[in-house]
Amino acid sequence: MSNYPLLSKLKEIVGDQYASDEEYVLIAYSRDASPLPPHKPDIVVRPGSVEEVVDIVKLANETRTPVMATGGRASMCGACLPTKGGIVIDMTRLNKVLDIDEERLIVETETGITWAALLYEVEKKGFKLGYRGPYSGHAATVGGSISCNSTGLGGAKWGQAPDSVVSLEVVLPTGEILETGTAVNPYAKRFARYCFGPDLTGIFLGDHGMLGVKTKVALRIYPKPEAVLYGCFGYKDLESCAKAFYSIQRTGLAEDMVILCNRKSIEYILPDAAVAFAGIEALFVYVIEAETRKIGEAIKEYLDSIAKKYGGVDLGIMFPEIFWTSKYEMITPLFEWGSEWAGSCHLLETSRLVEATKKSLELFKKYKFDELGIKYIITAMCAGRTVCVFTAHPYFNPLDKKQKEVVLKYWEERKREVIKYGGCFYWTGVGLYPIVVELLRKEWWNTLVKIKKSLDPNMIMNPGAFMILGDIYET
Amino acid sequence: MKLKHIREVLEEIYSCARCQECRESIKIASTGKNIYKVCPIRELLGFDAYTARGRILNIQAVIEGRLQPDEKFAEYMYTCLECGLCREVCIAKMGKGVDFVSIMEALRKDLYENGLIMDSHRVVLKSLKQNYNPYKQLHEDRLEWLEDLPENISVKIGERAKYAYFVGCTATHVTTEIAQATVEVLSKLGVDFTLLEDEWCCGFAAMIFGGEKEIKDFISHNLEQVKKTGAEYVITSCAGCYRVFKEYYPKYFKLDFKIIHSAELLDSALKENRISFTSPKEKLRVTYHDPCHLGRHSQVYEAPRNVIKAIPGVEFVEPLRTREYTICCGGSIISSHPDLSLEVAKYRLKDFDEVKPDVLLSCCPFCYRNLSYGIKLEEKPYKMVDLIVFVKDLIKIEKPAEVVVDVSKKLAEYLVAHPEIFSELKKGSVLNYHVSGKVFHVERLKDTIKVKFGEHPKADIDLYVSEKAVEALTSAKNKEEYMKTFKTMYKQKELSFKPRANLFTLARKGYVSWAKKAGVI
């Protein structure tokens, strides 16, 4: 087999051991955590500096080769799949924490670091992160998460991944290095995001790597709390549970919150608990982090009173404590029900939780999930004070052809349904773009195409995530 | 390529959720587990192909006909250390983890049967067939190490005895001081032991490349040899032999003896007050490397630690990555990838640099060999010693003394008398009780419970009970009163718990109902 044409040039840039076109290496980069079919890159490179990233990007631009920067590659809709082949840049060597500034309360890091690694480094210095990464934070990188608008831990107080970002260093598709936020001032440090004009940082957040390669990021940090307190309440119906959940979320006092929206979700996840808590149809947990125990206890008393006002039964602190002390380990175990899933997490007004749950259950019924033994959970996390991340995931066994066929068919309908009832996916990818193009406002697309064309005239960067942009350009 | 064995583990292969936990998880801050990155091969070679997920994706490509395995593919697959850390870190299947070791073993059997082993494996295979050891050493030389033993030690060979000492190929031919020390210690302890008349490789060397027929042949031969001695116990100082005897021998044959590691033998002697230790000549800071085959694969963590901690004048320090999250020494790929194997050893040694020991101990000739070589090359300021060699001259024979009844024993005995306390828990549930610096564990059996002193490495939950709580709990007349007291003590912070298993596992084992009864929730 002949080598990939750019192999020797890429090896010159990153060093022999950091570029490979071996088949077994390419196969390892051909899938994410979604049920989408494999797409292999032509070559994988692992740069160790921003200068190397610049050289790779310049080479890709000169040769009009598709190039995609990837992080944890555990996305749920093909956001990191190299659908057009080309170069995959594995960013995980760029994983150094550059500075933890105790005065500015800023951590500056390379983007290939995982959330768990960053959390470890920050906590060692006595600080915490705001948004703490997606549920896959042992693998997900900071760069990957801010590129796909991730939601996850700490979302109730701190919102989504981009909300913590102060400033970026980005390698543009033509090879220039762009600094954003206060770093545009060569005399200033990274301490604020909005200055001198429009928010250029924001353009690159959620771009799925199609506008540039993010190499450095500055995030806000906070003093590590003295007290962590928990609450868990069960309800005899979802309506009361959802009202209590939203009332607590709106206070902005909880660090994190998760709700299980129906009895079956509780039984699937916690079969023992379901027996122990007979009559509970829905439950939620919350986490408080406070500067002092006194403050924490006062907050807990207040939040508990809200929960009880809607008829909540106090289920103790065992669940939320385990939830919060085993961060990033709450989703993967569920794959016992089948190692594939059809993710449709999306942003929704929290006030519409009940309606969304009903719709999900109707669709599950239509596709006869219960009869086919397909298990699922319906749950929601928070993305700020008023928005939730609504999740209704079925899981299937890839060796069960019937299950696979039914769930994949369901998935296509589900994605359309979500957009049509007003839900908004925070992520995209090859599994979503055709539906998005069809249903979203054309002006948004046109503007996106204009930005893309001006920054990436040769359309080299991540043509997969927003493949339609490449197609429009090509036609 | 004909796939036979890999088809037997299809469910396991397709249970990988591709979540990437096996890539570079750091779980110290997120979960409190001492996991700092996972596969040393991935850390050294970098690409995701070297993670469990990357290898599984490749195996799936083979199964689905998208990839035709060739020698390059085989060489790549043989870089796996089969150390099992990825399985330990994996949280799929409700936390049980994908059994990647079984997958890799099945793949290697298929590679072997399709003629895709590496040249270095062929050399090992030839040596195994000619000399019954992988080191190209003459079989008739296998007892040469006996010549250097002190004169007062006599060793039975192929005679009847209660214990049969299985020396293992590495201690026989490479690290003979381990074999000699083991025999000296056995003699000192007055153990009635014999060597096998004709010991062959335990099968480990064939297991590495997937030679299933050879494994069976070797096992069959060694079992015949053990049978001749009538031994009730086979004792070994090799972690690899220990695992093969414990895990593989029963797969093929019914055993009528027990296998024990020399560290376990020492630990038992200590617990029975039959031995104690004298101090080394100078005070030493000592650390310990868990061999994968003794630790992760066989769950023996406490015995060597109990021995080390019982030595006066020794300060015991653990590295960050230890016990079930330890990093392999690299020894298992020494024949196929010697350079990489050594790089793994150097990578592992960095963990010990941080704790600044005088001595690094372990319980395996493979680990000893590889890590010692790394220490020499890197000119580390500490030395590597096998545990049995380290304690050889420090053992003092004691007369059995009366066991002091302590408070932890009081609680343990109470629980034994009241198994109904655990009726909500499912079979297989395990709780570690920490009382006054001592640990015992309660395991739920089908209709009753088993209480054993020592920490269970796979416990679901750790309970920390104060002496005051022990007094209160053991005064309870029945379960109802016990649970009531438990609740009171919990509220008074006289007892606390720390879950080890995740929420899903706890819920499946009945802990939620149990905790509810106990007033914890």
The dihedral over CA atoms of A302, A307, A308, A312, expressed in degrees to the nearest 10, equals: -160
Residue among A27, A90, A334 whose CB faces B58 most closely: A27
Q: Which residues pair with A283 in a beta bridge?
A: A234, A260
For residue A118, which residues of chain B lie inside 8 Å, CB to CB? none
For residue B269, the one-letter residue type is: A
For residue A319, which residues of chain B lie inside 8 Å, CB to CB? 503, 521
CB contact (8 A) between residue B512 and residue A138: no
For residue B68, which residues of chain A lie inside 8 Å, CB to CB? none
- Under 8 Å between Cβ of A396 and A364: no
Q: Which residues pair with A286 in a beta bridge?
A: A231, A257
Q: How many angstroms separate the CA atoms of B317 and A335, rounded?
A: 38
Q: Nearest chain B Cα to A269, which residue?
A: B504
Q: Nearest chain B Cα to A336, which residue?
A: B93
Residue A332 has pLDDT above 70, yes or no: yes
Fold of B119-268: Rossmann fold (3.40.50)
For residue A31, which residues of chain B lie inside 8 Å, CB to CB? 18, 57
Closest CA to B27 of A222, A332, A206: A332
Q: How many angstroms separate the CA atoms of A68 and A47, rounded?
A: 13
Q: Name the residue with tokens 């999930």.
A: A369
> Residue range A352-368: average pLDDT?
97
For residue B6, which residues of chain A lie inside 8 Å, CB to CB? none
Point out the least confidently predicted range of A10-14, A98-102, B325-329, B432-436.
B432-436
Q: A95-223, which class in CATH?
A: alpha beta
Q: How confident is the model at residue B427 (pLDDT cuts 50, 70, 90)?
A: confident
Q: Nearest chain B Cα to A126, which residue?
A: B29
Residue B403 has pLDDT above 70, yes or no: no
Residue among A24, A272, A332 whose CB faces B73 most closely: A24
- Under 8 Å between Cβ of A167 and A183: yes
Q: What is the ipTM of this complex?
A: 0.96
B125-144 tens-digit pLDDT: 999 999 999 999 999 999 99
Residue among B18, B54, B503 whose CB faces A322 most closely: B503
CB under 8 Å to B217, separation ≥6 — which residues?
none
Q: Which residues pair with A168 in a beta bridge?
A: A217
CB contact (8 A) between residue B499 and residue A322: yes
Residue A473 has pLDDT above 50, yes or no: no
- In CATH terms, B407-517 corresponds, of 3.20.20.10, 3.40.50.720, 3.10.590.10, 3.30.1050.10, to 3.30.1050.10
B6-30 tens-digit pLDDT: 999 999 999 999 999 999 999 999 9
Task: Indicate the burial class of A252 (C-beta count within 10 angstroms; 0-12, 13-18, 19 or more).
Answer: exposed
B453-497 tens-digit pLDDT: 888 888 889 899 999 999 999 999 888 899 889 888 988 889 888
Numbered ranges of CATH 3.40.50.1860 in chain B? 119-268
Q: Which two tokens stand for residue A300?
A: 């807990």
Q: Which two tokens stand for residue A455?
A: 């920054």
A33 to chain B nearest CA, in Å? 5
For residue B14, which residues of chain A lie inside 8 Å, CB to CB? 339, 397-399
B54-85 tens-digit pLDDT: 999 999 999 999 999 999 999 999 999 999 99
Q: How many angstroms separate the CA atoms of A168 and A182, rounded?
A: 10
Cα A55 vs. chain centroid, distance in angstroms? 28
A127-142 tens-digit pLDDT: 999 999 999 999 999 9
Q: How many angstroms separate the CA atoms of B167 and B170, rounded?
A: 8
Q: State percent of chain A over pLDDT 70.
A: 97
Q: Is B160 at the interface with chain A, CB within 8 A?
A: no
Q: Which two tokens stand for residue A303?
A: 């939040």
Q: How confident is the model at residue B438 (pLDDT cuts 50, 70, 90)?
A: confident
The dihedral over CA atoms of B245, B248, B249, B251, expressed in degrees to the nearest 10, equals: 150
Residue B405 has pLDDT above 60, yes or no: no
Q: Is B68 at the interface with chain A, CB within 8 A?
A: no
> How far is the first Cα of chain A from the last one, in angstroms, to the nearest whole number?
33
pLDDT at A467: 60
Give B 83-112 residues with CB within 8 A of chain A: 91-96
CB contact (8 A) between residue B27 and residue A18: no
Closest CA to A303 of A236, A350, A260, A255: A255
A191 to each of A143, A149, B362, how far by Cα in Å?
Answer: 19, 21, 50
Residue among A114, A124, A270 whose CB faces B507 most closely: A270
Number of inter-chain CB pairs under 8 A, A vs B: 197
Q: Which residues pair with A99 in a beta bridge?
A: A108
CB contact (8 A) between residue A275 and residue B11: no
Q: How many angstroms separate the CA atoms of B46 and A59, rounded?
A: 22
> Residue range A284-304: average pLDDT?
98
Q: How confident is the model at residue A468 (pLDDT cuts 50, 70, 90)?
A: low
Residue B388 has pLDDT above 80, yes or no: yes
Classify A208 in phi/psi space as left (phi over 0), alpha (psi -120 to 50) or beta. left
CB contact (8 A) between residue A25 and residue B47: yes
Q: How many angstroms separate the CA atoms of A389 and A381, rounded?
A: 5
pLDDT at A471: 55
Q: Nearest chain A Cα to B43, which residue?
A: A93
For residue B491, which residues of chain A lie inside 8 Å, CB to CB? none
CB under 8 Å to A162, separation ≥6 — which residues?
A146, A149, A202, A205, A206
Domain regions of chain A by residue span: 95-223, 227-420
CB under 8 Å to B309, separation ≥6 — which residues?
B316
For residue A6, the one-letter residue type is: L
Residue B193 has pLDDT above 50, yes or no: yes
CB contact (8 A) between residue A276 and residue B516: yes
Please give the mean pLDDT across all residues of chain B.
93
Q: Is B247 at the interface with chain A, CB within 8 A?
A: no
Q: Which two tokens stand for residue A288?
A: 């408080």
B77 to chain A nearest CA, in Å? 10
Q: How many angstroms separate the CA atoms of A137 and A463, rounded?
A: 25
Residue among A44, A329, A397 whose CB faces B31 most closely: A329
Q: Nearest chain B Cα to A43, which residue?
A: B47
Q: Which residues pair with B285 in a beta bridge?
A: B315
CB contact (8 A) between residue A72 and residue B23: yes
Q: How many angstroms separate the CA atoms of A356 and A364, rounded?
A: 12
For residue A23, which residues of chain B lie inside 8 Å, CB to CB? 67, 72-73
Q: Which two tokens stand for residue B291?
A: 């061999």
Coil, strand or helix: which one is B8?
Answer: helix
A276 to chain B nearest CA, in Å? 5
- 3 state SS for chain A: CCCCCCHHHHHHHHCHHHEECCHHHHHHCCCCCCCCCCCCCCEEECCCCHHHHHHHHHHHHHHCCCEEEECCCCCCCCCCCCCCCCEEEEHHHCCCEEEEECCCCEEEEECCCEHHHHHHHHHHCCEEECCCCCCCCCCCEHHHHHHCCCCCCCHHHHCCHHHHEEEEEEECCCCCEEECHHHHCCCCCCCCCCCCCCCHHHHHCCCCCCCCEEEEEEEEEEECCCEEEEEEEEECCHHHHHHHHHHHHHHCCCCEEEEECCHHHHHHHCHHHHHHCCCCCEEEEEEEEECCHHHHHHHHHHHHHHHHHCCCEECCCHHHHHHHHCCCCCCHHHHHHCCEECCCCEEEEHHHHHHHHHHHHHHHHHCCCCCCCCEEEEEEEECCCCEEEEEEEEEECCCCHHHHHHHHHHHHHHHHHHHHCCCECCCCCCCCHHHHHHHCCHHHHHHHHHHHHHHCCCCCECCCCCHHHHHHHHC
- Under 8 Å between Cβ of B363 and B261: yes
CATH numeric code, A227-420? 3.40.462.40
- Tell me yes or no: is domain B280-395 CATH 3.40.50: yes
Residue B404 has pLDDT above 70, yes or no: no
Numbered ranges of CATH 3.30.1050.10 in chain B? 407-517
CB under 8 Å to A123, separation ≥6 — which residues?
A224, B29
Point out the least confidently predicted range of A142-156, A339-353, B406-420.
B406-420
Closest CA to A422 of A341, A359, A342: A359
Q: Is B320 at the interface with chain A, CB within 8 A?
A: no
- Under 8 Å between Cβ of A279 and A237: no
CB contact (8 A) between residue B25 and residue A28: no
For residue A330, which residues of chain B lie inside 8 Å, CB to CB? 502-503
Question: What DSSP element (H or E) covers B361?
Answer: strand B359-362
pLDDT at B206: 95
CB contact (8 A) between residue B507 and residue A273: yes
Q: Nearest chain B Cα to A25, which residue?
A: B49
CB contact (8 A) between residue A398 and residue B31: no
Residue A445 has pLDDT above 90, yes or no: no
Q: Is B217 at the interface with chain A, CB within 8 A?
A: no
Closest CA to B360 of B327, B316, B313: B316
Cα B200 vs. chain centroid, distance in angstroms? 22
B52 to chain A nearest CA, in Å? 10
Q: How confident is the model at residue A475 (pLDDT cuts 50, 70, 90)?
A: very low
CB contact (8 A) between residue A31 and residue B57: yes
Q: How many angstroms separate the CA atoms of B474 and B411, rounded?
A: 6
Residue B333 has pLDDT above 90, yes or no: yes
Q: How many angstroms separate the CA atoms of A451 and A431, rounded?
A: 23
pLDDT at B520: 66
CB contact (8 A) between residue B509 and residue A272: yes
Q: How many angstroms separate the CA atoms of A136 and A334, rounded?
A: 13
B72 to chain A nearest CA, in Å? 9
Q: Which residues pair with B315 in a beta bridge?
A: B285
Task: Indicate the burial class of A58 (C-beta count within 10 angstroms; 0-12, 13-18, 19 or more).
Answer: middle
B171-190 tens-digit pLDDT: 999 999 999 999 999 999 99
pLDDT at B335: 93
B329 to chain A nearest CA, in Å? 22
